[in-house]
Amino acid sequence: MKLRKVSAAAATALVLTLTATACGGDGDSEGGSGSGGGKKIKIGIKYDQPGLGLKEPDGSFSGFDVDVATYVAKELGYKPDQIEFVETKSADRENALARGDVKLIAATYSITDERKAKVDFAGPYLLAHQDLLVKTDSDITEATDLNGKDLCSVTGSTSAQNVKNDFAPKANLKETGGYSECLAGLQSGSVDALTTDDSILAGYAAQQQYKGKFKLAGLKLSNENYGIGVKKGDTETVNKVNAALEKMVKDGAWEKAVKDNFGPANYKNEPAPKIGTIVK
């Protein structure tokens, strides 16, 4: 009996040791871990936004946010194989940073006062605008045309918030977890329009399976200043990321990332924003 008790205690100790080892063991559990060659950084991105953040069928990642995140990580001392990309859906972003699931978020993440109460932002690194995606033969041309229509957007996004508060309070807004669900609804006809940033919509419209089926309304309904989300109070990281973004613009890597990722969708992006300056 006594022997069994000792064994149980030993087993518990072993489990605790293993758990500590699995956590990296350097006390840094906030999206980055380890030291020297084995260190890793976790970065939140979108998985379903072609041209911005996309998980490819082979498991690799592509898009402007991915390229920006990879550049920033390099400046922070992480090689591409030391980055772990994690999916952060629109409604999960603040919590993912607060919990320390990820160190950074580069996921079409607009800087807003409401979000700034919960997280810090570096940037902005892109200026986009809210727009509508509709079927090619749709007669929706203005935001007010949406009143009484079925509209899809994503929970926790500025796009859904703006529709409810300003653009079309009488629209029948359906909120989903991600934009790909809205896209399916637009294709099946269960919704009349999908609203979010023009940068995201252009990527969808250019996809092979949707070519010629959808169009952007071309309305600049809002200014969406994309920032890199960082845990509230982590000023050191914000400063480092800002320096990295400035360097990325200066050395031409920003322009290259724009061409590589927005070129195929023919998305006419705004010029590089000035770090620290929000366009209201």
Closest CB to ligand GLU among residues 78, 168: 168
What CA–CA distances, in Å, run from 254 to 64, 162, 270?
A: 9, 29, 12
Residue 108 engages ligand GLU in binding (rule: CB under 6 A): yes
Residues 242, 252, 46, 280, Cα dihedral to 10°: 60
In the block, which residue shows the tokens 């169009």? 215
Residue 197 engages ligand GLU in binding (rule: CB under 6 A): yes
CA distance 146 to 208: 27
Contact positions with ligand GLU (CB under 6 A) in 63-92: 90
Residue 176 engages ligand GLU in binding (rule: CB under 6 A): no
Helices (H), 87-127: 93-99, 113-116
Sequence-distant (6+) residues with CB within 8 A of 6 are: none
Asked whether 203 and 267 are in contact (CB, 8 A), the reply is yes
Pick the piece of the chain touching ligand GLU (CB under 6 A) from 62-70, 103-111, 137-145, 229-237: 103-111
Closest CB to ligand GLU among residues 47, 109: 109
Closest CB to ligand GLU among residues 82, 155: 155
Residue 159 engages ligand GLU in binding (rule: CB under 6 A): yes
Pick the piece of the chain touching ligand GLU (CB under 6 A) from 12-20, 107-115, 135-143, 212-220: 107-115
* Residues that bind ligand GLU in the complex, under the rule CB under 6 A: 90, 107-110, 154, 157-159, 196-197, 224
